Structure 1
Amino acid sequence: MLLEELQSSLGKTYLSISYRPEGPWIHADWIGYPTGNSVLQGALAYLDQMQKQGCRAVLNDNRRLVGRWDASLEFLEQQWIPHALSTGLRYWAHLDNPGAFSVESADALRTRINGRFEVGIFEDQLQAEDWLRAGLRKG
C-alpha cells in the first residue's frame, strides 16, 4: 500500500514509501540520482511512516538509484541513526544492484551504525524479505 511519494523541486518522484503488511515493514523505493536534500528528507520520511504504521523494519531499495550517497553519511550518522533508534527501527535491509556504487555507501553507513540495529545488505529482494521476516520473528 503506497503511503507517500516524495518529489524533487522539478516534480520528479525520488522516493516511494509503501507499507508491506506481510512483514510488516516499510518499503522505501529510491529513484534517480540522490542529492543531499533528497537523502535527508527521504530517510526521515520513511522512518516517520515506519513509526506511524507500528513497524520496526525497513526495506531500503536502491535498485533504481543512480550514484553514491556518501555526501550524506555525516547527516545519517548525526541525525538519522538517532532518529531511527527513537522511532524503533530494529531491522534495516538494504537492497542494491550488484556492483552499484551505492553499495559502497551502504557499507560505510553500516560501519557508522555499529550494531545499534540490525543491517543486512542484499542483491536479491526475496533474500532481503526473508531476512526481515526472520528478524521480526525473533523480536
Structure 2
Amino acid sequence: MRLRVLHQLDFLTLEYDVVREYIHAVWRGEQTDETIREGYEEILQYLVQERCPRLLDDHYAIRGIWVSQAEWFANNWFPRALDAGLQRITVVYSQDFFSRRSTQEAVAQVPGGQVLAFNEPETALQALLAL
C-alpha cells in the first residue's frame, strides 16, 4: 500500500505516499477562516511526524472565500513548515472562483516563488516530484 491515510476531517484528508515521500492534503467543501487554520495546523503536525519534505496541497474541490488567511499562511504557517523540514510545496487551484482567488493571494504572499500552483492535480504532483 503506497498511500496511507494519516488523518481525516470533514473538510480535509491527509494521505502519505510512503514510496515518494509526500503528503497529499485533499481539501473539500466550503472553507472558513477556522477550517483553513485548523487544516494547516494538522498538515504541519504530520509534516513533522512523518519528517516529510514535500506537500501536495490540493484545493481542487474547495469552495469559499478565505483570502483573510493568506497573510497568516505566508507569514506564519509557511515559515514554521520550512523550519519543520518542508522543502517543496505545490498547490492545486480550486475550481471555485472565490477559493481560487484566495489561493492565488496566499501563494503570491509567499516570498521568492517558493510555492508553485497548478490547475490540475497530476501536473502539481509531477512538479512536486521533479528534482
Common fold by TM > 0.5: yes
Residue 127 of structure 1 deviates from its aligned partner by: 1.0
Quick one: which amino acid aligns to residue 42 of structure 2? Answer: A
Instruction: Identify which range, 35-44 or 73-82, moves more after superposition.
Output: 73-82
In 2, are the aligned partners of 1:48 and 1:87 still within 8 Å (CA)?
no
Residue 112 of structure 1 deviates from its aligned partner by: 1.5
Q: Which residue of 2 aligns with 1:101?
A: 98
Residue 99 of structure 1 deviates from its aligned partner by: 6.2
Q: Which residue of 1 aligns with 2:84?
A: 87
Q: Which residue of 1 aligns with 2:8?
A: 5
Q: Tell me which of 59, 66, 69 is aligned to 1:69.
A: 66
Residue 89 of structure 1 deviates from its aligned partner by: 1.5
Quick one: which amino acid aligns to residue 32 of structure 1? Answer: G
1:53 aligns with 2:56: no
Q: Give the unaligned 5+ runs of structure 2.
A: none
1:133 aligns with 2:126: no
- 1:76 and 1:90 map into 2 onto residues whose CA distance is 16
SS at match of 1:107: helix
* TM superposition score normalised by structure 1: 0.82
- 2:57 and 2:114 map into 1 onto residues whose CA distance is 13
SS at match of 2:103: helix
Instruction: Give RMSD over aligned pairs.
Output: 1.8
- 1:99 and 1:16 map into 2 onto residues whose CA distance is 19
Deviation by residue 1:82-112 (Cα, 9 ceiling, x = unmatched): 2112112121111124563222222211222
SS at match of 1:55: coil
Q: Which residue of 1 aligns with 2:31?
A: 34
* TM superposition score normalised by structure 2: 0.86
Matched residue pairs, number? Answer: 128
Residue 34 of structure 1 deviates from its aligned partner by: 0.8
In 1, are the aligned partners of 2:64 and 2:99 still within 8 Å (CA)?
yes
The percentage of aligned residue pairs carrying the same residue is 26
- 2:116 and 2:75 map into 1 onto residues whose CA distance is 21
- 1:114 and 1:73 map into 2 onto residues whose CA distance is 12
